[in-house]
Amino acid sequence: MSESWVNSAERIGSDLLLELAGPGSRRAVLIRALRDAVRAGRLPPGTRLPPYRSLAADLGLARNTVADAYAELVAEGWLTARQGSGTRVAHRAPAAAPARIPKKAPSRPAPPVHNLRQGQPDAASFPRTAWLAASRRAVNAAPNDAFGPGDPQGRVELRRALSGYLARVRGVHCSPERIVICSGFAHALRLLFGGGVLRGPLAVESYGLGFHRSLLVAAGVRTVPLTLDEHGARTGELTGLPGVRSVLLTPAHQFPTGGPLHPERRTAVVDWARTRGGLVLEDDYDGEFRYDREPVSAVQGLGPDRVVHLGSVSKSLSPAIRLGWMVLPEHLVGPVLAAKGEREGWASVLDQLALADFIESGHYDRHIRRMRQRYRHRRDQLVAALAAHAPHITPTGIAAGLHAVLRLPSGTERSTVKAAAWQGLGLDPLADFRHPAATMPAEDGLVVGYATPPDRAYGAALEALCRALPPPAGA
């Protein structure tokens, strides 16, 4: 520690008497001393603490030790930290208690007040009137056989509607005969792997939904992570995986880090599948919600015989509808139907007919365009709030989708998630999406969904988010 830095630190901040005694690391002893000072009332709510550099100089501690102690106490609710206001004793911190009635610190935060978790559309924007009209028309026009045992391939009316829609909007090449209706992406994975149609090992992206990995593990499938960069999955790594013949990708908008798969890599992965006799499983996640870029067509259009295109209405309409689809190479249609069984046991026939009408009538297109504008406005509000209150935090993956990734300073993810919980926020740490066998460098971050909160509460949710974010380095 240089003498000039110590002298500078001594000129800033205020004095704070703390007795660092007892067992444990220096960080643990400091945290205990600060808690005791708050409990005893020596540091009443609102008291501004010295900057961590000043306190570190006064106590002869490393700056990181004091900074980590402050961050932990912010996460626990004892302190608050705001840019320009410093670190203060929280008003919600445990009050001083009589000596004979010890009072414990809160053991856990209150349930989330604001839901900023990823993967959930705006439920309030479901097109109830248009969907009800489509359902009524579909039921009135349905042939009698629609009310009998369902076809496991799905109603032909929906498969025809999807064939035209996917060709027009996503560049998918298919006929209704190569589409199999399912109840969503998870159901598709269960059919393909749990049903014995495909076998592992399966290459996947280093970041993705742990729920999907769990489904694959339950089916006995070993997953092998591919490194990610700013151009998506590094598909060139597939040539070095001799036992892998299938790969699962989110090429339209990598989940959760964001960004489309680079055109050269899209072509390369289809060539790899042809050479190896393998398959590309294309999760068309967020393919319809784009804001600042041109449309990205489906990889399936480059190789219909080597790509399984998977989609659903979980994000575009609602997960409550429970409808999805698989666009399959011709040789897989029979095995998938055999895995599904003789009767439709998952997807409601009446919902299939309603969705077919909803697409054919143009209501689905209008709904997508309306929601694209709504989600873009939500995204812009998030970006503006960060620019105003936390300009040192960089949002990424914001050109499409329903969430953004906020990149955090190294070592701050855990404490930031705790601080967010105390602010009443429900959100996801980036680490939760990392493949356990990933070898690429880990980065701290938050996955923040901006579609779910109601309009009246969204501003408050963003304010709470900015309060929970770590201060700039050196602040």
116-138 pLDDT, tens digit each: 999 889 999 999 999 999 999 99
> Tokens standing for 378?
């939500």
Q: Which amino acid is at 151?
A: D
Q: Which amino acid is at 474?
A: G
What is residue 117's predicted lDDT score, i.e. its pLDDT? 92
Task: Return the higher-pLDDT residue of 210 and 307.
Answer: 307
Cβ neighbours of residue 211 closer than 8 Å, sequence gap 6 or more? 186
- Residue 390 scores a pLDDT above 90: yes
> Tokens standing for 82?
């705001």
Give residue-wise pLDDT tens across range 24-72.
888 888 989 898 888 888 888 888 888 888 888 888 888 888 888 888 8
* Coil/strand/helix, residue 454: coil
In order of 174, 182, 186, 364, the CA distances from 354 in angstroms are 22, 15, 22, 11
Instruction: Report d(CA 281, CA 112) in Å as an integer.
Output: 35
Q: Which of 376, 425, 428 is nearest to 405 (CA)?
A: 428
What is residue 423's predicted lDDT score, i.e. its pLDDT? 85
Give 51-55 contacts, CB < 8 A, sequence gap 24+: 51/9, 51/12, 51/13, 51/86, 51/87, 51/475, 52/87, 53/9, 53/12, 53/13, 53/474, 54/9, 54/10, 54/12, 54/13, 55/13, 55/16
Instruction: Report d(CA 159, CA 175) in Å as an integer.
Output: 8
**436, burial (CB in 10 Å: exposed 0-12, middle 13-18, buried 19+):** exposed
Q: Which of 469, 462, 356, 361 is nearest to 420 (CA)?
A: 469
Q: What are phi and psi of 457, to 5 degrees?
A: -110, -5
Instruction: Report d(CA 132, CA 322) in Å as an integer.
Output: 16
What is residue 474's predicted lDDT score, i.e. its pLDDT? 59
Q: Which of 27, 14, 113, 20 is nearest to 468 (CA)?
A: 113
- Residue 231 scores a pLDDT above 90: yes
Task: Return the higher-pLDDT residue of 209 and 96.
Answer: 209
DSSP-assigned letter for residue 243:
T
pLDDT confidence bin for 93, thresholds 50/70/90 = very low
Distance spanning both ends of the chain, measured CA to CA? 18
Helix axes 3-10, 52-59, angle to 10 degrees: 110
Q: Which of 327, 207, 202 is nearest to 273 (CA)?
A: 202
Task: Tell me what the mean pLDDT of segment 76-101 comes to.
Answer: 67
What is residue 111's predicted lDDT score, i.e. its pLDDT? 67
pLDDT confidence bin for 108, thresholds 50/70/90 = low
Q: Which of 288, 334, 361, 320 is nearest to 133 (CA)?
A: 361
Q: Which domains does the chain have, with CATH numbers?
A: 3-89 (1.10.10.10), 114-121+366-468 (3.90.1150.10), 127-361 (3.40.640.10)
What is residue 92's predicted lDDT score, i.e. its pLDDT? 60
DSSP-assigned letter for residue 123:
G
Give residue-wise pLDDT tens across range 421-474.
888 899 999 999 999 999 999 999 999 999 999 899 999 999 999 999 998 875
Half-sphere exposure at residue 459, Cβ-oriented, CA atoms within 13 angstroms: 2
Could you check whether the bond before residue 201 is cis, i.e. omega within 30 degrees of 0? yes
Please name the residue ranges forming H helices in 77-227. 128-141, 156-170, 185-189, 210-218
Contact 262, 231 (CB under 8 A): yes
What is residue 158's predicted lDDT score, i.e. its pLDDT? 97
Q: What percent of the chain has pLDDT over 70?
A: 92
Question: Can you tell me which residue has the tokens 């808690």?
Answer: 35
Instruction: Report d(CA 15, CA 265) in Å as an integer.
Output: 58
Mind spelling out the 3-state secondary structure of 394-416? EEECCCECCEEEEECCCCCHHHH
pLDDT confidence bin for 112, thresholds 50/70/90 = confident
- Residue 212 scores a pLDDT above 60: yes
Cβ neighbours of residue 123 closer than 8 Å, sequence gap 6 or more? 318, 452
- Residue 235 scores a pLDDT above 60: yes
Give residue-wise pLDDT tens across range 236-289.
999 999 899 999 999 999 999 988 999 999 999 999 999 999 999 999 987 788
- Residue 11 scores a pLDDT above 50: no
What is residue 86's predicted lDDT score, i.e. its pLDDT? 80
- Residue 370 scores a pLDDT above 50: yes
